[in-house]
A and B are shown apart, each in its own frame.
Chain A
Protein backbone atom coordinates (compact mmCIF):
# COMPACT_ATOMS: atom_id res chain seq x y z
CA UNK A 1 0.00 0.00 0.00
CA UNK A 2 1.39 3.39 -0.84
CA UNK A 3 1.25 6.45 1.38
CA UNK A 4 -1.33 8.16 -0.81
CA UNK A 5 -4.03 5.71 0.29
CA UNK A 6 -4.22 7.52 3.65
CA UNK A 7 -5.80 10.78 4.53
CA UNK A 8 -3.17 13.34 5.54
CA UNK A 9 -1.64 12.17 8.84
CA UNK A 10 -3.62 8.89 8.87
CA UNK A 11 -6.71 10.08 10.79
CA UNK A 12 -9.82 11.24 8.91
CA UNK A 13 -10.72 14.93 9.11
CA UNK A 14 -13.70 14.44 11.44
CA UNK A 15 -11.54 12.62 13.96
CA UNK A 16 -8.91 15.34 13.79
CA UNK A 17 -11.57 17.98 14.41
CA UNK A 18 -12.78 16.05 17.43
CA UNK A 19 -9.24 15.83 18.79
CA UNK A 20 -8.60 19.52 18.09
CA UNK A 21 -11.72 20.43 20.07
CA UNK A 22 -10.38 18.40 22.99
CA UNK A 23 -6.99 20.12 22.64
CA UNK A 24 -8.59 23.58 22.61
CA UNK A 25 -10.55 22.74 25.73
CA UNK A 26 -7.37 21.46 27.34
CA UNK A 27 -5.57 24.69 26.49
CA UNK A 28 -8.45 26.72 27.91
CA UNK A 29 -8.37 24.79 31.19
CA UNK A 30 -4.66 24.09 31.82
CA UNK A 31 -4.01 20.74 33.49
CA UNK A 32 -7.61 19.51 33.16
CA UNK A 33 -7.97 16.05 31.64
CA UNK A 34 -10.33 16.34 28.68
CA UNK A 35 -11.99 13.08 27.63
CA UNK A 36 -11.84 12.34 23.90
CA UNK A 37 -12.93 9.49 21.65
CA UNK A 38 -9.53 7.84 21.22
CA UNK A 39 -9.23 5.80 18.03
CA UNK A 40 -7.60 2.48 17.37
CA UNK A 41 -4.18 3.22 15.93
CA UNK A 42 -1.98 0.81 13.98
CA UNK A 43 0.23 0.23 17.03
CA UNK A 44 -0.35 -1.32 20.45
CA UNK A 45 -1.59 0.68 23.42
CA UNK A 46 1.39 1.79 25.46
CA UNK A 47 3.40 2.66 22.36
CA UNK A 48 2.17 6.20 22.11
CA UNK A 49 -1.29 5.94 20.59
CA UNK A 50 -2.39 9.08 22.45
CA UNK A 51 0.64 11.11 21.41
CA UNK A 52 0.30 9.98 17.81
CA UNK A 53 -3.33 11.09 17.64
CA UNK A 54 -2.50 14.51 19.11
CA UNK A 55 0.41 14.89 16.70
CA UNK A 56 -1.80 13.86 13.77
CA UNK A 57 -4.35 16.50 14.75
CA UNK A 58 -1.66 19.21 15.02
CA UNK A 59 0.38 18.49 11.90
CA UNK A 60 0.18 20.66 8.79
CA UNK A 61 2.09 19.85 5.58
CA UNK A 62 4.69 22.57 6.29
CA UNK A 63 5.63 21.07 9.66
CA UNK A 64 9.00 19.57 10.50
CA UNK A 65 8.61 16.68 12.93
CA UNK A 66 11.00 15.34 15.55
CA UNK A 67 10.23 12.23 17.56
CA UNK A 68 12.15 11.23 20.66
CA UNK A 69 11.91 8.28 23.00
CA UNK A 70 13.67 8.68 26.37
CA UNK A 71 15.54 11.59 24.80
CA UNK A 72 16.87 9.57 21.86
CA UNK A 73 15.94 9.95 18.19
CA UNK A 74 17.16 6.51 17.20
CA UNK A 75 15.20 4.08 19.39
CA UNK A 76 12.50 1.76 18.06
CA UNK A 77 9.53 3.77 19.24
CA UNK A 78 10.89 7.06 17.92
CA UNK A 79 11.97 5.62 14.57
CA UNK A 80 8.63 3.86 14.03
CA UNK A 81 6.51 6.91 14.78
CA UNK A 82 8.72 9.16 12.67
CA UNK A 83 8.40 6.73 9.73
CA UNK A 84 4.66 6.51 10.32
CA UNK A 85 4.22 10.24 9.79
CA UNK A 86 6.70 10.37 6.93
CA UNK A 87 4.55 7.80 5.19
CA UNK A 88 1.07 9.01 6.10
CA UNK A 89 1.63 12.78 6.18
CA UNK A 90 4.73 13.20 4.07
CA UNK A 91 6.03 15.88 6.42
CA UNK A 92 9.71 16.75 6.75
CA UNK A 93 11.49 15.24 9.72
CA UNK A 94 14.52 16.26 11.69
CA UNK A 95 16.55 15.16 14.66
CA UNK A 96 17.48 18.72 15.59
CA UNK A 97 15.41 20.20 18.38
CA UNK A 98 15.88 23.75 17.17
CA UNK A 99 14.64 22.97 13.65
CA UNK A 100 11.52 21.04 14.62
CA UNK A 101 8.07 22.63 14.73
CA UNK A 102 6.34 19.63 16.30
CA UNK A 103 8.16 17.32 18.71
CA UNK A 104 6.54 14.14 19.92
CA UNK A 105 8.23 12.82 23.03
CA UNK A 106 8.15 9.87 25.32
CA UNK A 107 9.48 10.44 28.85
CA UNK A 108 11.77 13.45 28.26
CA UNK A 109 11.77 17.16 27.56
CA UNK A 110 14.60 18.25 25.21
CA UNK A 111 17.49 20.00 26.96
CA UNK A 112 17.45 22.91 24.51
CA UNK A 113 14.83 25.49 25.62
CA UNK A 114 11.82 25.38 23.32
CA UNK A 115 10.39 28.41 21.52
CA UNK A 116 6.95 29.86 20.92
CA UNK A 117 6.87 28.32 17.43
CA UNK A 118 7.09 24.79 18.73
CA UNK A 119 4.60 22.22 19.98
CA UNK A 120 5.72 19.46 22.35
CA UNK A 121 3.46 16.38 22.34
CA UNK A 122 3.80 13.89 25.20
CA UNK A 123 2.85 10.23 25.15
CA UNK A 124 1.07 9.56 28.42
CA UNK A 125 0.48 6.09 29.84
CA UNK A 126 -1.53 7.09 32.94
CA UNK A 127 -2.96 10.61 32.95
CA UNK A 128 -4.52 10.42 36.43
CA UNK A 129 -2.02 11.58 39.11
CA UNK A 130 -4.29 10.22 41.86
CA UNK A 131 -4.71 6.78 40.28
CA UNK A 132 -2.67 4.74 42.73
CA UNK A 133 -3.89 6.72 45.72
CA UNK A 134 -7.62 6.54 45.04
CA UNK A 135 -8.79 3.59 42.95
CA UNK A 136 -12.21 5.02 42.08
CA UNK A 137 -12.25 7.16 38.94
CA UNK A 138 -15.56 8.69 40.02
CA UNK A 139 -13.91 9.82 43.24
CA UNK A 140 -10.73 11.13 41.59
CA UNK A 141 -12.77 13.28 39.21
CA UNK A 142 -14.67 14.63 42.18
CA UNK A 143 -11.37 15.36 43.92
CA UNK A 144 -10.15 17.31 40.89
CA UNK A 145 -13.43 19.20 40.70
CA UNK A 146 -13.30 20.14 44.38
CA UNK A 147 -9.54 20.75 44.39
CA UNK A 148 -9.29 18.11 47.11
CA UNK A 149 -5.60 17.29 46.79
CA UNK A 150 -4.53 16.44 50.36
CA UNK A 151 -4.01 12.83 49.34
CA UNK A 152 -1.22 13.79 46.93
CA UNK A 153 0.79 15.09 49.86
CA UNK A 154 0.07 11.90 51.80
CA UNK A 155 1.99 10.09 49.08
CA UNK A 156 4.92 12.49 49.41
CA UNK A 157 4.72 12.14 53.22
CA UNK A 158 4.98 8.37 52.83
CA UNK A 159 8.02 8.81 50.61
CA UNK A 160 9.83 10.87 53.23
CA UNK A 161 8.76 8.60 56.10
CA UNK A 162 10.09 5.56 54.28
CA UNK A 163 13.10 6.87 52.39
CA UNK A 164 14.08 10.07 54.21
CA UNK A 165 13.37 12.17 51.13
CA UNK A 166 10.77 12.48 48.39
CA UNK A 167 11.76 9.38 46.46
CA UNK A 168 9.40 9.94 43.54
CA UNK A 169 11.89 10.33 40.69
CA UNK A 170 9.63 10.44 37.64
CA UNK A 171 5.99 11.35 36.95
CA UNK A 172 6.46 13.84 39.77
CA UNK A 173 3.10 15.57 40.43
CA UNK A 174 2.77 19.25 39.57
CA UNK A 175 0.14 21.91 40.14
CA UNK A 176 -0.74 23.82 36.99
CA UNK A 177 -1.62 27.51 37.21
CA UNK A 178 -2.54 27.09 40.89
CA UNK A 179 -5.49 24.84 40.14
CA UNK A 180 -5.20 21.32 38.71
CA UNK A 181 -2.75 18.70 39.94
CA UNK A 182 -1.31 17.01 36.87
CA UNK A 183 0.80 13.99 36.05
CA UNK A 184 3.50 15.32 33.71
CA UNK A 185 3.83 11.81 32.16
CA UNK A 186 6.84 9.76 33.25
CA UNK A 187 9.46 12.44 32.63
CA UNK A 188 12.28 12.48 35.21
CA UNK A 189 11.71 15.09 37.89
CA UNK A 190 14.88 16.74 36.53
CA UNK A 191 12.67 17.91 33.63
CA UNK A 192 9.91 19.35 35.82
CA UNK A 193 11.31 22.93 35.83
CA UNK A 194 11.25 22.83 32.02
CA UNK A 195 7.46 22.42 32.07
CA UNK A 196 7.32 26.21 32.36
CA UNK A 197 8.08 26.76 28.72
CA UNK A 198 7.53 29.07 25.77
CA UNK A 199 6.19 26.16 23.70
CA UNK A 200 2.69 24.72 23.75
CA UNK A 201 2.73 21.36 25.54
CA UNK A 202 0.06 18.77 24.78
CA UNK A 203 -0.44 15.44 26.53
CA UNK A 204 -2.23 12.52 24.89
CA UNK A 205 -3.25 9.28 26.61
CA UNK A 206 -4.71 6.90 24.03
CA UNK A 207 -5.80 3.95 26.13
CA UNK A 208 -7.15 6.21 28.88
CA UNK A 209 -8.79 8.54 26.31
CA UNK A 210 -7.61 11.78 27.86
CA UNK A 211 -5.95 14.90 26.48
CA UNK A 212 -4.55 17.72 28.59
CA UNK A 213 -2.38 20.73 27.96
CA UNK A 214 0.02 23.25 29.43
CA UNK A 215 -0.15 26.48 27.39
CA UNK A 216 3.00 28.59 26.90
CA UNK A 217 4.28 30.44 29.97
CA UNK A 218 1.88 28.66 32.33
CA UNK A 219 2.93 28.43 35.97
CA UNK A 220 3.81 24.82 36.83
CA UNK A 221 4.80 24.08 40.43
CA UNK A 222 6.17 20.75 41.61
CA UNK A 223 4.48 19.69 44.85
CA UNK A 224 6.65 19.50 47.96
CA UNK A 225 6.85 20.22 51.69
CA UNK A 226 8.18 23.43 53.19
CA UNK A 227 10.95 21.53 54.97
CA UNK A 228 11.53 19.08 52.08
CA UNK A 229 11.60 21.31 49.00
CA UNK A 230 11.44 19.94 45.46
CA UNK A 231 14.86 18.82 44.20
CA UNK A 232 15.32 18.18 40.45
CA UNK A 233 18.16 15.74 40.95
CA UNK A 234 20.30 13.93 38.38
CA UNK A 235 23.31 11.62 38.38
CA UNK A 236 26.36 13.43 39.76
CA UNK A 237 28.55 12.98 36.69
CA UNK A 238 29.39 14.88 33.52
CA UNK A 239 28.39 13.29 30.18
CA UNK A 240 31.14 10.85 29.12
CA UNK A 241 30.80 11.89 25.47
CA UNK A 242 30.25 15.65 25.46
CA UNK A 243 31.18 16.60 29.00
CA UNK A 244 27.90 18.39 29.69
CA UNK A 245 27.21 18.85 33.40
CA UNK A 246 23.72 20.32 33.06
CA UNK A 247 21.94 17.58 31.13
CA UNK A 248 20.03 14.51 32.23
CA UNK A 249 22.17 11.37 32.02
CA UNK A 250 21.57 7.73 31.17
CA UNK A 251 23.67 5.14 32.91
CA UNK A 252 25.00 2.63 30.40
CA UNK A 253 26.54 -0.68 31.44
CA UNK A 254 29.47 -1.23 29.07
CA UNK A 255 30.88 -4.62 30.11
CA UNK A 256 30.20 -7.47 32.51
CA UNK A 257 32.87 -6.35 34.98
CA UNK A 258 30.97 -3.45 36.49
CA UNK A 259 32.07 -0.88 33.91
CA UNK A 260 29.60 1.88 33.25
CA UNK A 261 29.38 5.27 31.66
CA UNK A 262 27.01 8.20 31.96
CA UNK A 263 25.88 9.82 28.72
CA UNK A 264 23.33 12.49 27.82
CA UNK A 265 19.88 11.03 27.42
CA UNK A 266 19.10 13.79 24.86
CA UNK A 267 21.06 12.48 21.84
CA UNK A 268 20.58 15.63 19.77
CA UNK A 269 21.88 17.86 22.58
CA UNK A 270 24.92 15.60 23.01
CA UNK A 271 25.68 15.42 19.29
CA UNK A 272 25.28 19.19 18.92
CA UNK A 273 27.76 19.83 21.71
CA UNK A 274 30.30 17.42 20.27
CA UNK A 275 29.98 19.03 16.81
CA UNK A 276 30.50 22.47 18.29
CA UNK A 277 33.60 21.28 20.17
CA UNK A 278 35.11 19.58 17.11
Chain B
Protein backbone atom coordinates (compact mmCIF):
# COMPACT_ATOMS: atom_id res chain seq x y z
CA UNK B 1 0.00 0.00 0.00
CA UNK B 2 1.23 3.51 -0.81
CA UNK B 3 1.28 5.90 2.14
CA UNK B 4 -1.04 8.89 1.66
CA UNK B 5 1.48 11.31 3.04
CA UNK B 6 5.16 10.84 3.67
CA UNK B 7 7.14 13.54 5.44
CA UNK B 8 10.92 13.45 5.45
CA UNK B 9 13.21 15.70 7.48
CA UNK B 10 10.90 18.68 7.56
CA UNK B 11 12.65 21.69 9.10
CA UNK B 12 11.55 25.26 9.59
CA UNK B 13 13.49 27.91 11.48
CA UNK B 14 12.43 31.43 12.32
CA UNK B 15 15.80 33.12 12.02
CA UNK B 16 17.91 31.58 14.79
CA UNK B 17 14.97 29.94 16.54
CA UNK B 18 13.74 26.52 15.61
CA UNK B 19 10.11 26.16 14.54
CA UNK B 20 10.27 22.45 13.92
CA UNK B 21 13.31 20.31 13.16
CA UNK B 22 13.88 17.03 11.33
CA UNK B 23 10.28 15.84 11.48
CA UNK B 24 9.61 12.63 9.59
CA UNK B 25 6.53 10.43 9.61
CA UNK B 26 4.24 8.43 7.39
CA UNK B 27 0.46 8.70 7.24
CA UNK B 28 -1.51 5.78 5.80
CA UNK B 29 -4.93 6.05 4.11
CA UNK B 30 -7.76 6.16 6.63
CA UNK B 31 -5.45 6.90 9.53
CA UNK B 32 -5.79 9.74 12.03
CA UNK B 33 -2.55 11.07 13.42
CA UNK B 34 -2.54 13.23 16.53
CA UNK B 35 0.21 15.72 17.23
CA UNK B 36 0.40 16.88 20.85
CA UNK B 37 2.75 19.12 22.75
CA UNK B 38 2.74 22.29 24.80
CA UNK B 39 2.38 25.79 23.36
CA UNK B 40 5.44 26.73 21.33
CA UNK B 41 6.49 23.15 20.69
CA UNK B 42 6.18 23.59 16.93
CA UNK B 43 2.89 21.77 16.32
CA UNK B 44 1.25 24.58 14.41
CA UNK B 45 4.43 25.38 12.49
CA UNK B 46 4.60 21.77 11.40
CA UNK B 47 0.94 21.71 10.37
CA UNK B 48 1.25 24.95 8.41
CA UNK B 49 4.35 23.65 6.63
CA UNK B 50 2.52 20.47 5.70
CA UNK B 51 -0.54 22.32 4.43
CA UNK B 52 1.55 24.69 2.34
CA UNK B 53 0.77 27.83 4.36
CA UNK B 54 4.43 28.17 5.35
CA UNK B 55 7.47 27.38 3.26
CA UNK B 56 9.76 24.98 5.15
CA UNK B 57 13.57 25.39 4.96
CA UNK B 58 14.27 21.75 4.25
CA UNK B 59 12.53 18.43 3.83
CA UNK B 60 9.98 16.75 1.63
CA UNK B 61 6.21 16.35 1.87
CA UNK B 62 5.20 13.58 -0.48
CA UNK B 63 1.46 13.25 -1.12
CA UNK B 64 -0.16 10.43 -3.05
CA UNK B 65 -2.09 12.48 -5.62
CA UNK B 66 -5.10 11.01 -7.40
CA UNK B 67 -3.79 11.59 -10.88
CA UNK B 68 -0.04 11.19 -10.76
CA UNK B 69 0.72 9.13 -7.66
CA UNK B 70 3.24 10.26 -5.02
CA UNK B 71 4.56 13.78 -5.59
CA UNK B 72 6.55 16.24 -3.50
CA UNK B 73 4.05 18.95 -2.58
CA UNK B 74 6.81 21.47 -1.93
CA UNK B 75 8.07 21.09 -5.50
CA UNK B 76 4.62 21.68 -6.99
CA UNK B 77 3.71 24.95 -8.66
CA UNK B 78 1.45 27.35 -6.81
CA UNK B 79 -1.65 26.60 -8.99
CA UNK B 80 -1.20 22.86 -8.44
CA UNK B 81 -0.85 23.37 -4.69
CA UNK B 82 -3.93 25.59 -4.59
CA UNK B 83 -5.90 23.03 -6.55
CA UNK B 84 -4.83 20.37 -4.06
CA UNK B 85 -5.78 22.72 -1.23
CA UNK B 86 -9.38 22.87 -2.37
CA UNK B 87 -9.94 19.36 -3.67
CA UNK B 88 -8.01 16.62 -1.89
CA UNK B 89 -6.98 18.62 1.15
CA UNK B 90 -8.92 20.44 3.81
CA UNK B 91 -7.80 22.69 6.64
CA UNK B 92 -9.91 23.25 9.75
CA UNK B 93 -8.73 26.27 11.68
CA UNK B 94 -8.91 26.62 15.43
CA UNK B 95 -10.82 29.87 15.08
CA UNK B 96 -13.72 29.44 12.64
CA UNK B 97 -13.33 33.11 11.72
CA UNK B 98 -10.05 32.24 10.01
CA UNK B 99 -11.63 29.49 7.94
CA UNK B 100 -15.01 31.02 7.12
CA UNK B 101 -16.10 34.05 5.16
CA UNK B 102 -18.06 35.82 7.85
CA UNK B 103 -19.96 38.13 5.50
CA UNK B 104 -21.19 35.36 3.22
CA UNK B 105 -24.13 33.08 3.97
CA UNK B 106 -23.65 29.53 5.26
CA UNK B 107 -24.69 28.14 1.87
CA UNK B 108 -22.19 30.38 0.07
CA UNK B 109 -19.46 29.29 2.46
CA UNK B 110 -20.08 25.62 1.75
CA UNK B 111 -20.49 26.26 -1.97
CA UNK B 112 -17.28 28.24 -2.37
CA UNK B 113 -15.05 25.21 -2.81
CA UNK B 114 -17.48 23.74 -5.34
CA UNK B 115 -17.49 26.96 -7.35
CA UNK B 116 -13.72 27.19 -7.07
CA UNK B 117 -13.37 23.84 -8.83
CA UNK B 118 -15.83 24.84 -11.54
CA UNK B 119 -19.40 24.13 -10.38
CA UNK B 120 -21.66 26.54 -12.27
CA UNK B 121 -25.15 25.25 -11.53
CA UNK B 122 -26.82 27.20 -8.73
CA UNK B 123 -29.45 24.58 -7.92
CA UNK B 124 -26.90 21.78 -7.60
CA UNK B 125 -24.51 23.87 -5.52
CA UNK B 126 -27.34 24.79 -3.19
CA UNK B 127 -28.57 21.21 -2.89
CA UNK B 128 -25.08 20.03 -1.98
CA UNK B 129 -24.71 22.85 0.55
CA UNK B 130 -28.04 21.91 2.15
CA UNK B 131 -27.01 18.26 2.25
CA UNK B 132 -23.74 19.10 4.00
CA UNK B 133 -25.38 21.43 6.49
CA UNK B 134 -27.68 18.57 7.44
CA UNK B 135 -24.70 16.25 7.87
CA UNK B 136 -23.10 18.64 10.36
CA UNK B 137 -26.43 19.11 12.14
CA UNK B 138 -27.19 22.67 11.06
CA UNK B 139 -30.90 23.24 10.39
CA UNK B 140 -31.70 23.70 6.70
CA UNK B 141 -33.57 26.92 7.41
CA UNK B 142 -30.28 28.59 8.33
CA UNK B 143 -28.67 28.13 4.93
CA UNK B 144 -28.99 31.84 4.10
CA UNK B 145 -27.83 33.11 7.49
CA UNK B 146 -24.35 34.50 7.91
CA UNK B 147 -21.88 32.69 10.16
CA UNK B 148 -21.76 35.74 12.40
CA UNK B 149 -25.30 34.80 13.50
CA UNK B 150 -24.12 31.29 14.48
CA UNK B 151 -22.86 30.07 17.85
CA UNK B 152 -19.21 29.05 18.19
CA UNK B 153 -20.00 25.36 17.91
CA UNK B 154 -22.15 25.89 14.83
CA UNK B 155 -19.44 28.00 13.21
CA UNK B 156 -16.96 25.20 13.76
CA UNK B 157 -19.36 22.64 12.28
CA UNK B 158 -19.97 24.95 9.32
CA UNK B 159 -16.23 25.20 8.79
CA UNK B 160 -16.03 21.42 8.72
CA UNK B 161 -18.88 21.18 6.19
CA UNK B 162 -17.23 23.80 4.01
CA UNK B 163 -14.01 21.81 4.03
CA UNK B 164 -15.44 18.38 3.43
CA UNK B 165 -17.86 19.27 0.62
CA UNK B 166 -15.36 18.45 -2.14
CA UNK B 167 -14.67 15.01 -0.62
CA UNK B 168 -11.04 15.55 0.43
CA UNK B 169 -8.80 12.64 1.37
CA UNK B 170 -6.62 14.45 3.89
CA UNK B 171 -7.82 16.88 6.57
CA UNK B 172 -5.55 19.09 8.63
CA UNK B 173 -7.10 20.17 11.91
CA UNK B 174 -5.58 22.80 14.17
CA UNK B 175 -7.15 22.59 17.64
CA UNK B 176 -10.60 21.87 16.19
CA UNK B 177 -12.28 21.99 19.59
CA UNK B 178 -10.40 24.94 21.06
CA UNK B 179 -12.56 27.62 22.63
CA UNK B 180 -15.71 25.47 22.87
CA UNK B 181 -17.36 24.35 26.08
CA UNK B 182 -17.13 20.69 27.01
CA UNK B 183 -20.61 19.52 25.99
CA UNK B 184 -20.25 21.21 22.57
CA UNK B 185 -16.73 19.76 22.31
CA UNK B 186 -18.08 16.27 22.94
CA UNK B 187 -20.72 16.57 20.21
CA UNK B 188 -18.25 18.04 17.77
CA UNK B 189 -15.76 15.25 18.43
CA UNK B 190 -18.52 12.73 17.94
CA UNK B 191 -19.40 14.35 14.62
CA UNK B 192 -15.79 14.51 13.42
CA UNK B 193 -15.19 10.90 14.42
CA UNK B 194 -18.31 9.80 12.55
CA UNK B 195 -17.37 11.75 9.40
CA UNK B 196 -13.79 10.55 9.42
CA UNK B 197 -14.84 6.92 9.76
CA UNK B 198 -17.67 7.11 7.24
CA UNK B 199 -15.72 8.96 4.56
CA UNK B 200 -12.52 7.02 5.19
CA UNK B 201 -10.59 10.25 5.65
CA UNK B 202 -7.05 10.56 6.79
CA UNK B 203 -6.46 13.38 9.22
CA UNK B 204 -3.70 15.13 11.08
CA UNK B 205 -5.01 16.67 14.29
CA UNK B 206 -2.93 19.15 16.22
CA UNK B 207 -4.06 19.74 19.78
CA UNK B 208 -2.89 20.16 23.35
CA UNK B 209 -6.01 18.42 24.59
CA UNK B 210 -5.20 14.77 25.30
CA UNK B 211 -8.88 13.85 25.50
CA UNK B 212 -9.29 14.89 21.86
CA UNK B 213 -6.50 12.66 20.58
CA UNK B 214 -7.65 9.80 22.83
CA UNK B 215 -10.98 9.91 21.02
CA UNK B 216 -9.88 10.71 17.48
CA UNK B 217 -6.34 9.60 16.83
CA UNK B 218 -5.02 6.18 15.90
CA UNK B 219 -1.43 7.21 16.34
CA UNK B 220 0.25 9.92 18.32
CA UNK B 221 3.30 12.11 17.91
CA UNK B 222 4.57 14.10 20.89
CA UNK B 223 6.55 17.26 20.15
CA UNK B 224 8.78 19.36 22.34
CA UNK B 225 11.01 22.27 21.32
CA UNK B 226 10.34 21.65 17.65
CA UNK B 227 11.35 17.97 17.71
CA UNK B 228 9.36 14.76 17.82
CA UNK B 229 10.25 13.06 21.09
CA UNK B 230 7.86 10.12 21.08
CA UNK B 231 5.58 8.33 18.63
CA UNK B 232 3.34 5.31 18.92
CA UNK B 233 -0.23 4.09 19.07
CA UNK B 234 -2.41 6.54 20.97
CA UNK B 235 -3.30 4.26 23.86
CA UNK B 236 0.26 3.06 24.13
CA UNK B 237 1.69 6.57 24.38
CA UNK B 238 -0.97 7.84 26.75
CA UNK B 239 -1.03 4.81 29.04
CA UNK B 240 2.65 3.99 29.04
CA UNK B 241 4.57 7.18 28.24
CA UNK B 242 8.31 6.67 27.84
CA UNK B 243 9.82 10.14 27.41
CA UNK B 244 9.99 12.25 30.59
CA UNK B 245 8.11 15.09 28.94
CA UNK B 246 5.29 12.80 27.81
CA UNK B 247 5.05 11.43 31.35
CA UNK B 248 4.73 14.99 32.62
CA UNK B 249 2.13 15.82 29.96
CA UNK B 250 -0.01 12.78 30.75
CA UNK B 251 0.21 13.27 34.51
CA UNK B 252 -0.70 16.95 34.20
CA UNK B 253 -4.23 16.16 33.09
CA UNK B 254 -6.75 16.66 35.86
CA UNK B 255 -8.82 13.57 36.50
CA UNK B 256 -12.43 14.62 36.75
Interfacial residues, chain A to chain B (CB-CB below 8 A): 142, 146-148, 150-151, 153-154, 157-158, 160-162, 225-228
Contact = CB atoms under 8 A, between A and B. Distances in A.
B144 A162 contact: yes
Given A146-B78, A154-B111, A154-B112, A161 B105 contact: yes
A89 B116 CA distance: 48
Interface stretch (B121-129, B214-222, B241-249): B121-129
B199 interface: no
A194 to B, nearest CB: 24
Nearest to A157: B108
B108 A225 contact: no
Given A227-B123, A228-B122, A150 B117 contact: yes
Given A162-B144, A225-B122, A146 B117 contact: no
Given A151-B112, A161-B107, A225 B79 contact: no
Prevailing SS type, chain A contact patch: helix
A226 B112 contact: no
Contacts of A228: 122
Interface centre among A154, A226, A228, by most B CB within 10 Å? A154
Interface string B93-133: 00000000100110110011101110011110110000000
A196 B69 CA distance: 44
Given A160-B122, A161-B144, A150 B116 contact: yes
A226 B108 contact: no
Given A157-B122, A228-B122, A150 B104 contact: no
B135 interface: no
Given A161-B144, A225-B120, A225-B121, A146 B82 contact: yes
A153 B120 contact: yes
Contact of A158 (B108, B113, B117): B108
Contact of A157 (B82, B86, B107, B113): B107
Contact of B115 (A146, A153, A162): A153
25 contacts: A142-B78, A146-B79, A146-B82, A147-B79, A148-B79, A148-B82, A150-B86, A150-B117, A154-B111, A154-B112, A154-B115, A157-B111, A157-B125, A158-B104, A158-B108, A161-B126, A161-B143, A162-B105, A225-B122, A226-B120, A226-B121, A226-B122, A227-B121, A227-B123, A228-B122
A161 B122 CA distance: 9
Interface in B182-227: none
Interface in B144-187: 144
A136 to B, nearest CB: 13
Of B79, B120, B122, B143, most buried by chain A (CB within 10 Å of CB) is B122
